[in-house]
């Protein structure tokens, strides 16, 4: 039976929150003409300008190999921002564009960094002239060592009157050993307090609200443990294929691309102990990762599943299989789906399975954390045909951000018949505001010097400590007969067996969600 929905609203409508105004700085983007800059970084910076978070002394200097003038670079960025920002303001763009500058550079050439130092001195005004520099590495991770060595050679890693910080994009290494090498290379030239390893999932409002939901409500925290929670499911399902990322993705796969960083971050926030303060959250997350036992080959075979999509139908359109995608190697065994049963062996969570799955070309776009509680042991309902379903709390990240909770209520009339009731909270609807883009939040934090929502060096290595043994075991095993799931489906059949061994079942990602059922019901009411 479909759940009956109850809407949740804030008790008091909050006023408009004024985001802080960042100190003046020169924001240097390595990889300034790439996809990340065009789709995420430049739109986020433009939104910060619209919110009046950037001082007049803020400058952007983009670096890439191609030759172009400042004017051409500005025109290229205008096109990208207008396509990725709602309510694009042409007048505001003209004022913002005056801050944008460009420099052609070979990032492996030491001379490019001497020229960069000269340009920074030329562009610096006010606070920026004092040496406030934020270097953003929007480049493949293989270039990171060259960049940090080049900056050091030009004496651009040193801090004087102003700050010098570096933002490093994922993937941060390919396994534990490569992550350690990269950490060591960066630490030769930058202190840990200068390094901001970015995972955009941590900038999402819903992800941050996990803390408020868990630790700001006494009704939830006492039951957030193995005594009441049966299991946890964390899902990141996408309808899209690899698109133009085939060159990167074919050597990466779903486990590295999604689970090793994004979904492990969601798991740590769900499972961590209450931090003593907001700025100690990173230590609480690391403790969760350290509590996760390393899987040997036998456990990897039992607790992991990998898949690769074949041809199928997605959103009513026929799509080709992964091996037919442009840029994918013939007969590739790269996984486009991964599911892992993880355990957190501490006092709070011992014995509770955490099922984590990520996949491309699945039946629906969906990212969520579902906490499934133990079923009621009471015998009151045994005389009826109804099986009382367990309570579930769902934290929704995509397609719409919010929190749902289900509980049982008696249906009016004779007899003890129950129905599920859905208590749902939608962020934009409840607060009447457009949620901040994750990159907007994180870029402002980096300029402000707040590293709370960034990943620490030991945290990165702790993540790979969990994931690397799975990669090593898979490399020594015969891969499944790929493709092993049709595009538009739930994923490989083996994933259902993974949860069934413990008497559990995945939440359906193909059928309409409870939130969509609720919306359809509202539209049907005259």
| Domain range summary for the chain, segments of one domain joined by + | 26-169, 202-522
CB 395 within 8 A of CB 210: yes
The verdict on whether 262 is a catalytic residue reads yes
Looking at per-residue pLDDT, the higher value among 19 and 392 belongs to 392
Provide the b/e sequence for 161-189 (b: ≥16 CB within 10 Å): ebbbbbbbbbbbbbbbebbeebbeebeeb
pLDDT at 39: 93
pLDDT at 1: 43
Query: Which fold would CATH assign to domain 26-169?
Result: Rossmann fold (3.40.50)
**Over the stretch 347-388, which tens digit does the pLDDT of each residue have?**
999 999 999 999 999 999 999 999 999 988 765 655 555 567
Residue 516 scores a pLDDT above 60: no
Q: What is the C-alpha separation between 297 and 291, in angstroms, rounded?
A: 19
| Predicted TM-score (pTM) of this structure | 0.90
| Mean pLDDT for the stretch of residues 327-336 | 95
Confidence of residue 125 (pLDDT cuts 50, 70, 90): low
Q: In 77-158, at which residue ranges do the beta strands (DSSP E only) sit?
A: 100-104, 133-137
**Over the stretch 242-295, which tens digit does the pLDDT of each residue have?**
988 888 899 899 999 999 999 999 999 999 999 988 778 999 999 999 999 999
Residue 521 scores a pLDDT above 70: no
pLDDT at 517: 46
Burial class of residue 392 in the structure, from the number of CB atoms within 10 Å of its CB (0-12 exposed, 13-18 middle, 19+ buried)? buried
CATH assignment of 202-522, given 3.60.10.10, 3.40.50.10800, 3.30.530.20, 3.30.360.10?
A: 3.30.360.10
Percent with pLDDT over 70 in the chain: 90
Quick one: which of 283, 271, 86, 254 has its CA closest to 171? 254
Per DSSP, the three-state class of 3 is coil
Per DSSP, the three-state class of 29 is strand
| DSSP element (H, E) containing 215 | helix 205-215
pLDDT at 14: 53
pLDDT at 130: 59
Q: Which structure tokens are listed for 193?
A: 């307090």
**Over the stretch 296-321, which tens digit does the pLDDT of each residue have?**
999 999 999 999 999 999 999 999 99
Q: How far apart, in Å, do the first and last CA atoms of the chain sit? A: 22
**Over the stretch 153-176, which tens digit does the pLDDT of each residue have?**
999 998 877 899 999 998 898 999
| Mean pLDDT for the stretch of residues 127-140 | 81
**Over the stretch 185-237, which tens digit does the pLDDT of each residue have?**
999 999 999 999 999 888 888 888 888 899 989 999 999 999 999 999 999 99
Q: Which structure tokens are listed for 327?
A: 């840029």
Q: What is the C-alpha separation between 194 and 252, in angstroms, rounded?
A: 28
Q: Which structure tokens are listed for 360?
A: 């491309």
Residue from 101, 231, 262, 515 carrying the catalytic annotation: 262
CB 424 within 8 A of CB 6: yes
Strand pairing class (26-30; 59-64): parallel
CB 312 within 8 A of CB 322: no
The strand pairing partners of 48, in sequence order, are none
| Mean pLDDT for the stretch of residues 12-30 | 76
């Amino acid at each position: 039976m479909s759940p009956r929905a109850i809407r949740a609203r804030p008790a008091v409508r909050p006023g408009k929150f004024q985001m802080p105004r960042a100190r003046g700085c020169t924001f240097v983007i390595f990889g300034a003409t790439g996809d990340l800059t065009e789709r995420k970084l430049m739109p986020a910076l433009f939104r910060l300008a619209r919110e009046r978070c950037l001082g007049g002394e803020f400058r952007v200097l983009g670096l890439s190999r191609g030759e172009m003038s400042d004017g051409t670079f500005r025109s290229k960025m205008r096109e990208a921002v207008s396509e990725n920002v709602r309510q694009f303001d042409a007048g505001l763009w003209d004022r913002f564009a005056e801050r944008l500058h460009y420099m052609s550079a070979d990032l492996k050439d030491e001379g490019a960094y001497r020229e960069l130092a000269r340009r920074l001195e030329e562009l610096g005004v006010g606070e920026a002239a004092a040496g406030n520099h934020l270097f953003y590495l929007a480049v493949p991770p293989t270039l990171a060592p060259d960049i940090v060595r080049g900056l050091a050679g030009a004496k651009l890693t040193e801090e004087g009157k102003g700050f010098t910080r570096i933002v490093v994009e994922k993937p941060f290494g390919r396994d534990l050993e490569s992550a350690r090498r990269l950490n060591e290379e960066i630490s030769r030239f930058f202190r840990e307090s200068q390094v901001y390893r970015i995972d955009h999932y941590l900038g999402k409002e819903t992800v941050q609200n996990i803390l408020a939901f868990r630790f700001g409500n006494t009704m939830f925290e006492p039951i957030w443990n193995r005594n009441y929670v049966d299991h946890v499911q964390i899902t990141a399902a996408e309808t899209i294929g690899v698109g133009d990322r085939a060159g990167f993705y074919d050597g990466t796969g779903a486990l590295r691309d999604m689970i090793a960083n994004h979904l492990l971050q969601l798991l740590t926030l769900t499972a961590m102990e209450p931090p003593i303060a907001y700025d100690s959250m990173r230590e609480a997350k690391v403790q969760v990762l350290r509590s996760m036992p390393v899987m040997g080959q036998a456990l990897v075979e039992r607790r992991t599943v990998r898949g690769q999509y074949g041809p199928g139908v997605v959103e009513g359109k026929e799509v080709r299989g992964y091996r037919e995608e442009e840029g994918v190697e013939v007969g590739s065994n790269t996984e486009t789906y991964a599911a892992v049963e993880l355990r957190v062996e501490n006092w709070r969570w011992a014995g509770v399975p955490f099922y984590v799955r990520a996949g491309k070309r699945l039946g629906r776009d969906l990212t969520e954390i579902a906490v499934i509680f133990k079923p009621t042991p009471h015998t009151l309902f045994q005389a009826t045909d109804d099986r009382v379903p367990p309570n579930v709390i769902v934290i929704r990240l995509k397609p719409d951000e919010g929190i749902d909770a289900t509980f049982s209520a008696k249906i009016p009339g004779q007899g003890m018949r129950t129905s599920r009731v859905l208590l749902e909270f939608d962020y934009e609807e409840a607060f009447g505001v457009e949620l901040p883009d994750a990159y907007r939040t994180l870029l402002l934090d980096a300029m402000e010097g707040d590293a709370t929502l960034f990943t620490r060096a030991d945290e990165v290595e702790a993540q790979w400590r969990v994931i690397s043994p799975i990669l090593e075991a898979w490399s020594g095993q015969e891969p499944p007969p790929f493709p092993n799931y049709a595009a538009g489906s739930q994923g490989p059949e083996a994933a259902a067996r993974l949860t069934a061994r413990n008497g559990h079942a995945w939440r359906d990602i193909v059928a309409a969600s409870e939130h969509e059922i609720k919306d359809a019901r509202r539209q049907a009411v005259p």
